[in-house]
Structure 1
Amino acid sequence: MSKLSLDLRKQERPSKYMVEQIGKQSPLLTLAELQPPKFLPRRQPVSMEFVNSNIQPGKVVVFIKPTCPYCRQTKDFLSQLSFKPGALIFVDITATGDTERIQDYLQQITGARTVPRVFIGQECIGGYTDLMNMHQRGELLMRLRQIGAL
């Protein structure tokens, strides 16, 4: 199998780039023609991996920003409940340096990019207001028991 390298210096036509094949030049190709080989696994974006790796069955996971007042209220409220060890996780999305992409991905999977984003098991219930409404309706503790978090 031949090795390809991409010369990112623009050639005569601005939409074309030069591809070198083991020292000899081959025809100019567009970026669309430069697909990764099919045998290489495609990696998920880091933001997707970060979010998906934190959402777990049997746990309550809350994506937060430490400076957000609703995140602090969510953390204070949930910390008062008697969770099993390791069943309540707060994930600071600002610690990654990829905050915007993480929020974009949260919007894709939950419909909102705001924080906090509260997951009970693998289901997002929403943010702080949704959490408090669920608690006032008497549904929160029941759900937490159902997933084995309490």
Structure 2
Amino acid sequence: MPSQRRAKAMSLLVVLAIIVTLYMTSSARQTRTSDFYTKTQEALQVKEYEQAAKQRDADDVGSRLKAAEAAAKKAAEEKGQKYFDSVQGNEKSVAGRVMINQEDGGKKPLQGVATFGGRTRDREAAKNDHETPEEHQVEVELNDILKKSPIIIFSKTFCPHSKQAKHILLDLYNIVPKPYVVELDEHTLGPQLQATLTESTGRRTVPNILVMGKSIGGGDEIVDLHQSGQLDDKLKSLGGARIVEVSLKDSKSNTEMRRRRA
């Protein structure tokens, strides 16, 4: 009898196992075909697709940025090389501006850095895109003036400080080449030249004494340099080989200057 009971129990367990298996299989099929399951799967798929698309976009942006950086670097290197090549055979004018040889054999100022009065500035950057004929005329005239002599005295005939500076530089000293004087109140472009000098040297009054295109000041500065016995050294150091001689005309004054220096 016990063996029959065990056989029935085993049969019952087998039947239960079959029923449970069929139920689970049926439930799984129903779950996969339900709206909730379907929508959940679709949402997961959409999210995965969006993430993949974002990753692709990020990769594309990174590639474009790298390409743009490489192109910018190459362009900068090419521009720098062109500038370097153009400067190799350059000449300097008396105003300290770099001159570039043109293809037609002429020369033009190198637009960019020029030094006046100890200040470095970019003249071209300060100009408008379209230079007026008057501005061009003033620029040409100023360049012509600066070629007259290593030392330029911008003056006005009625100015006492200008008279004093001219007296010291022209009457008390032998300077070779002789300083060139521009009387702004008599020059046809006087106001425009003075405005340009104000912009370039930072000095709006006269006299304005330029040595090799660099302003060394006005009347007070010339008087101080003369009285301290430093004027000749100042002019020689700034003028270099362009200034052949700077010496006092009066031998007594020469002796006095040497005594002061000692």
TM-score if structure 1 supplies the norm length?
Answer: 0.62
Task: Give runs of ≥4 in structure 1 deviating > 4 Å.
Answer: 41-44
Q: Which has the higher contact order (CA 8 A, sep 6+)?
A: 1
Q: How many residues align?
A: 111
Q: Flag the 1:94–1:58 CA change in 2: closer, same or farther, 3 A.
A: closer
> Displacement, 1:76?
0.9
3-state SS of paired residue (2:157): coil
Alignment of 1:46-125 (within 5 A): 46-56=137-147, 59-79=150-170, 80-84=172-176, 86-125=177-216
Displacement of 1:68 in angstroms is 1.0
Q: Give the AA of the match of 1:52.
A: N
**CA shift in 2, pair 1:131/1:96, >3 Å:** same
Write out per-residue CA displacement over residues 43-91 of structure 1, whole angstroms, 9 at most, x where no aligned residue.
Answer: 643223222321249621101111111111111111120112x431111
SS at 1:114 equivalent: coil
Partner of 2:235: 144
Separation in 1 of the partners of 2:185 and 2:138? 12
Compare the two structures and name the one with the higher strand fraction.
1
5+ long unaligned stretches in structure 1: 1-34
Q: Which runs of 5+ in 2 are unaligned?
A: 1-128, 246-262
> What residue identity is the alignment partner of 2:174?
S
Q: Which has the higher helix share?
A: 2
RMSD over aligned Cα atoms: 2.6
Superposition TM-score, scaled by structure 2 size: 0.38
